[in-house]
Amino acid sequence: MQRLRVADFFRVPELPVAVLAMPAQGVMALHRHEFAELTIITGGSALHVTGQGRYPLAAGDVFYVPPEQPHGYAETRGLSLVNVLFLPGRMAGTAEEVRRMAGWQALFESEPRYRDAQGFAGHLRLPPEELERVMALVRELDAETRAYVKGGGVLVEALFTQAVVRLARSYGAHASPGGRRLLAVQKTIRHIEEKYAETVELNVLAKKAGMSLSTFKRAFKAVTGTSPIDYLLQTRLARACHLLRDGDRSVTESALAAGFGDGNYFARQFRRRMGCTPREWRTREAG
């Protein structure tokens, strides 16, 4: 599989952002890249191909491709697009206020993570007028990267952030039914990830999502591919593994800190998921 490299696409080494316009994007086999990519479809149609599926694209579609995630294009018909390439590790960092926007979380976290589980149903599609507003920012960003002068890095990151905030706002305003479902479920995912060590009740999660309990269970499964209870269990086990590997706590203390109130239940679930006991796992990781 072809791997696209930073050195071949970032014209100015000092900048963590580059804009690549593809006015006539043809069929492209699965590939991956060292950098992150925010893709804006400006015209035509195609199928977006990932390792798990193929999803239709049209003008106004916007989606995020994380570094090293394979993707490509098939059945292109007059496809034109713009890729905003960026290096997350070299940027000052997205402000916490932006990262907490539901649209930001949906666009950059949930939709790529659950794309294959929900068949691209939660992607963002901008109406023509909003597409033009976003593209005006992208054109300004492109011009600034091409005419780079000292100190331009601050302006480039500011323009990039403006575009991202506009897209995050648009996600809520123009979400498809699948996108609205993703936004609702995203609220509960965030709650689970923040409150995993506490008692997490399904009816509370459903209320946060604004759904009946039965509808919420179906929506959560459609977005994540698993149930809310299983997601909570996975989250607690992941935290327990972190504590076992990096902390000085005992197995029991790690289990309690991760939200498991019953040590025997924790041990059973750990063995079922990890294939060994918590102590065996800690010993293996330490070695």
Please provide the distance, in angstroms rounded to a whole number, between the alpha carbons at the two ends of the chain: 34
**Do both 67 and 193 map to the same domain?**
no
**Do both 12 and 134 map to the same domain?**
yes
**Do both 42 and 13 map to the same domain?**
yes
Percent of the chain topping pLDDT 70: 98
User: CA 59: distance to chain centroid?
Assistant: 21
Q: Name the residue range of residue 162's domain.
A: 2-168
**Do both 56 and 152 map to the same domain?**
yes
User: CA 113: distance to chain centroid?
Assistant: 5
Number of domains present in the structure of the chain = 3
Residue 51's CATH number: 2.60.120.280
**Do both 123 and 251 map to the same domain?**
no
Confidence of residue 287 (pLDDT cuts 50, 70, 90): low
- pLDDT tens per residue, range 39-55: 999 999 999 998 878 99
C-alpha 201/C-alpha 232 separation (Å) is 10
- Going by the DSSP 8-state scheme, the letter that residue 38 receives in this structure is E
H-type helices in 147-195, by residue range? 152-174, 177-195
Residue 257's CATH number: 1.10.10.60
Q: Is 174 contained in some domain?
A: no
Per-residue burial over 66-95, b if 16 or more Cβ lie within 10 Å, else e, is beeebbbbeebeebbbbbbbbbeeebeebe
Residues 6+ apart with CB under 8 A from 55: 47, 48, 115, 119, 120, 123
Residue 182 in contact with residue 110, Cβ under 8 Å? yes
Say whether pLDDT at 206 is over 80.
yes
Q: Which residue, 246, 284, 250, is CA-closest to 267? A: 250
C-alpha 61/C-alpha 123 separation (Å) is 7
Q: Is 136 contained in some domain?
A: yes
C-alpha distances in angstroms, 112 versus 98, 116, 171?
18, 8, 14
**Do both 47 and 104 map to the same domain?**
yes
Query: What is the average pLDDT value for the chain, to the nearest integer?
Result: 91
C-alpha 258/C-alpha 237 separation (Å) is 7
Say whether pLDDT at 208 is over 80.
yes
Percent of the chain topping pLDDT 90: 68
Q: Is 207 contained in some domain?
A: yes
Q: Residue 93's pLDDT is what?
A: 67
Q: Is 173 contained in some domain?
A: no
- pLDDT tens per residue, range 133-172: 999 999 999 999 998 888 788 899 999 999 999 999 998 7
Q: Please state, as a whole number, how many other Cβ atoms lie within 10 Å of the Cβ of residue 188.
A: 26
C-alpha 45/C-alpha 154 separation (Å) is 35
Task: Report pTM.
Answer: 0.79
Lookup result for tokens 């691209």: 120
Q: Is 175 contained in some domain?
A: no
- pLDDT tens per residue, range 101-140: 888 888 888 888 877 777 777 788 999 999 999 999 999 9
Lookup result for tokens 């459903």: 206
Mean pLDDT is lowest, of 99-113, 236-250, 272-286, for 99-113
